[in-house]
Amino acid sequence: MDKEPVTIVDIRASDVYQQAHIPGAFLLGDENIDAFLQAADKTKPLICYCYHGFSSQGACEFLKQSGFGRVFSIEGGFEFWRNVYPTECNK
């Protein structure tokens, strides 16, 4: 993230996203996945996260199959990230 621009997607529920999320993260769900797939820059690295890092692994596979070249899941998910960077959560 420090070396080049990335796309960050949050696949948690919208109410949880509204409570706190990684700055710049895009809420991605069933209602906007098609628009996201059409508009996103698939050459940029994509970082995907969920609550604890399990569901985002499946989402990463889907996004890879949808044409994204470099897709990553945050190990431990948002909860891990929040513990490491507690002052950087958007609330």
Residues designated catalytic = 50
Q: What DSSP designation does 86 have? A: G
Query: CB count, 10 Å around CB of 1?
Result: 10
What residue has token string 């769900």? 29
The token duo for 10 is: 């949050």
Q: Is the distance from CB of 22 to CB of 49 less than 8 angstroms?
A: yes
